[in-house]
């Protein structure tokens, strides 16, 4: 019998090439100096900052001054919030950050992606000033075309996405260009308030251990992605976070990790999001013998629903929705989850040592002196030299020691949905229920802490259920910062309304003194 040729199997479609990605481009100092001068001239042309108008607090003295606003956190959100306040003429602002310069936020620390997730055309930190935009910053150094610049980086048209360290350096440039002073090495320690709730008493801790108490009328909590909670550590029967055996072998993706020490090691990663893939890629690029990424889902999320929630109508209008619609929108987005960027997945797939195991949750994690044993469903076990939790951040204000005195009174979304819905969606239920200017609220409006809570503005991921993604995701940043600054300006003005009335009556600058129609005040007649 004549043999038959085997039936050919259909070839998998060829995948598109991954565009050029890089963490940082070369710097062109002289070009940036020229752009700095242009941006400062542009700010002057639009009268930024405008004249300061806020009246000093009545209890402020040279010996015991009162700040108008303290901004805690000088990352992307805190910096942009402070710039927005300056644009509103609120200038008695102090900005602090516990980290050293350049280490504010994730960009130079635990973020391990090559590029930002967002498209390169996003704006935000420039607050609408073209010469302060990332595009202006990049084009000044590398040109606007599709060819390589003299420094070896692609021009703007050829740029795929923004390099992570480029974004960090751009933020620092914006800060310096607009003249925004930041006190690095200063951490927010605790908050209390005056007897009438009209002033916040804020304890700061300096890097040298010195403590300082300042008084402020408003506090902006721009404490980063974990500033409304903490890194999410899964609970496992055999794992204790304070176990010394876990300290060197069990990590969260937000931890400092020495990937270079993992050459030849077997690494397990838990999670299906971007940070899980980023950390897996770093381990692979450091020469790990094998990296296995586990996800409980049967397939990776495929559609980023939050993209549909990033247009200006949504970003501006979401805060005006009723509670039921807000709850419906973000519980849906959270349930759908965000897929990892395709470039990041391909970054891992480029290594033969990478394995993705879908539909495989972890049942237990047990570190010992030689490694980590991961127990899988049905009794299976895997052995690793180290494991990483790429499980993101939880939102639970009970985890924030800085405002521990107030957490029991902070209003949350659990109080605004049914008990069934709160049980069904426990994390959204823990999000703080914020006012129109990002101010926190007391669950009991008559409680003595209510007035003080209204002076604390939460400007980070914890604002999402109330305002949408305006304080953490770049596309909504400018809208969020402007809303925050305008809310603070409004409240400062209303609080001093009678004093502004006195100022209005006392205003006596004559307009017609240079004409023949000038009439002197009656007292001078």
3-state secondary structure of 304: coil
Same domain, 183 and 208: yes
Number of domains forming the structure of the chain:
2
CATH number, domain at 381?
Answer: 3.50.50.60
Same domain, 209 and 115: yes
Same domain, 414 and 485: yes
Question: Which stretches of 142-232 are assigned E, i.e. beta strand?
Answer: 183-184, 186-193, 200-206, 211-221, 229-231
Same domain, 412 and 288: no
H or E, element range at 71: strand 66-72
Task: Report how far apart the first and last C-alpha atoms of the chain are (Å, whole number).
Answer: 127
Same domain, 221 and 347: no
Per-residue pLDDT band at 147 (split at 50, 70, 90) = confident
| Rounded percentage of the chain residues whose pLDDT exceeds 90 | 89
In a domain, 517, yes or no: no
In a domain, 22, yes or no: no
Q: Please report the sign of the dihedral spanned by the C-alpha atoms of residue 97, residue 100, residue 102, residue 103.
A: negative
Last residue of a domain, one of 391, 425, 460: 391
Taking only the tens place, the pLDDT of each residue in 296-338 is 999 999 999 999 999 999 999 999 999 999 999 999 999 999 9
Per-residue pLDDT band at 259 (split at 50, 70, 90) = very high
Residue 203: exposed, middle, or buried by beta-carbon count in 10 A (0-12, 13-18, 19+)? middle
Same domain, 414 and 386: no
Taking only the tens place, the pLDDT of each residue in 427-450 is 999 999 999 999 999 999 999 999
Same domain, 297 and 192: no
- Whose structure tokens read 């200006």? 312
State the DSSP code for 435: -
Taking only the tens place, the pLDDT of each residue in 153-180 is 999 999 999 999 999 999 999 999 999 9
In a domain, 509, yes or no: no
Same domain, 91 and 180: yes
Last residue of a domain, one of 349, 374, 391: 391
In a domain, 186, yes or no: yes
Give the separation between CA 56 and CA 328, rounded to whole angstroms: 43
C-alpha count within 13 angstroms, C-beta hemisphere, residue 45: 9
| Structural domain boundaries, residue 376 | 233-302+339-391
In a domain, 503, yes or no: no
Same domain, 272 and 380: yes
Which one is predicted more confidently, 397 or 103? 103
- pLDDT over 60 at 3, yes or no: no
Q: What is the pLDDT of residue 62?
A: 86
Same domain, 96 and 213: yes
Same domain, 421 and 363: no
In a domain, 24, yes or no: no
Q: What's the pTM?
A: 0.94
Q: What is the pLDDT of residue 230?
A: 87
- pLDDT over 50 at 1, yes or no: no
Per-residue pLDDT band at 8 (split at 50, 70, 90) = low
Last residue of a domain, one of 347, 375, 391: 391
In a domain, 476, yes or no: yes
Give the separation between CA 161 and CA 120, rounded to whole angstroms: 5
Same domain, 425 and 355: no
Taking only the tens place, the pLDDT of each residue in 45-67 is 999 999 999 999 988 888 889 99
Give the separation between CA 418 and CA 421, rounded to whole angstroms: 5
Taking only the tens place, the pLDDT of each residue in 354-389 is 999 999 999 999 999 999 999 999 889 999 999 999
In a domain, 5, yes or no: no
Say how many C-beta atoms besides its own lie within 10 A of residue 307's C-beta.
12
């Amino acid at each position: 019998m004549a043999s038959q040729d085997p039936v050919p199997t259909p070839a998998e479609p060829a995948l598109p090439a991954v565009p050029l990605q890089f963490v940082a481009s070369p710097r062109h100092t002289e070009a940036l100096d020229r752009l700095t001068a242009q941006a400062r001239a542009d700010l002057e042309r639009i009268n930024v900052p405008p004249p300061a108008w806020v009246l000093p607090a009545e209890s402020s003295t040279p010996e015991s001054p009162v700040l108008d606003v303290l901004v805690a956190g000088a990352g992307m959100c805190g910096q942009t919030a402070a710039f927005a306040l300056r644009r509103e003429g609120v200038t008695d602002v102090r900005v602090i950050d516990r980290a050293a310069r350049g280490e504010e936020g994730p960009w130079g620390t635990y973020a391990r992606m090559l590029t930002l997730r967002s498209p390169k055309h996003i704006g935000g930190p420039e607050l609408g000033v073209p010469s302060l935009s990332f595009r202006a910053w990049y084009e000044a150094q590398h040109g606007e075309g599709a060819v390589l610049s003299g420094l070896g980086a692609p021009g703007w048209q050829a740029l795929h996405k923004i390099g992570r360290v480029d974004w960090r350096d751009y933020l620092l440039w914006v800060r310096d260009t607009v003249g925004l002073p930041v006190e690095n090495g200063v951490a927010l320690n605790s908050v209390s308030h005056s007897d009438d709730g009209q002033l916040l008493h804020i304890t700061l801790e300096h890097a040298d251990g010195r403590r300082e108490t300042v008084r402020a009328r408003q506090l902006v909590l721009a404490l980063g992605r974990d500033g409304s909670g903490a890194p999410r550590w899964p609970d496992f029967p055999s794992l204790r976070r304070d176990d010394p055996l876990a300290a060197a072998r069990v990590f969260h993706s937000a931890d400092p990790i020495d990937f270079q020490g993992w050459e030849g090691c077997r690494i397990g990663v838990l999670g299906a999001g971007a940070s899980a893939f980023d950390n897996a890629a770093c381990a692979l690029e450091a020469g790990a013998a094998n990296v296995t990424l586990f996800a409980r889902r049967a397939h990776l999320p495929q559609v980023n629903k939050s993209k549909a929630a990033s247009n200006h109508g949504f970003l501006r209008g979401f805060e005006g929705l009723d509670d039921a619609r807000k709850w419906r929108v973000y519980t849906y987005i959270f349930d759908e989850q965000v897929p990892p960027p395709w470039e990041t997945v391909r970054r891992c797939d480029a290594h033969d040592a990478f394995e993705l195991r879908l539909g495989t949750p972890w049942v237990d994690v047990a570190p010992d002196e030689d490694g980590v044993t991961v127990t899988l469903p049905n009794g299976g076990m895997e052995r690793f030299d180290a494991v990483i939790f790429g499980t993101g951040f939880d939102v639970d204000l009970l985890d924030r020691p800085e405002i521990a005195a107030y957490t029991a009174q902070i209003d949350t979304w659990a109080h605004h949905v049914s008990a069934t819905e709160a049980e069904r969606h426990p994390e959204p239920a823990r999000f703080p229920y914020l006012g129109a200017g990002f101010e926190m609220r007391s669950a009991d409006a008559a409680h003595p802490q209510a007035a003080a809570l209204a002076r604390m503005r939460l400007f980070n991921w914890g604002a999402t259920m109330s305002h949408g993604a305006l304080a953490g995701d770049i596309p909504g940043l400018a809208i969020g910062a402007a809303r925050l600054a305008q809310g603070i300006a409004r409240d400062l003005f209303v609080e001093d309304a009678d004093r502004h009335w006195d100022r209005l009556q006392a205003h006596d600058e004559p307009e017609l003194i240079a004409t023949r129609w000038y009439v002197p005040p009656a007292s001078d007649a």
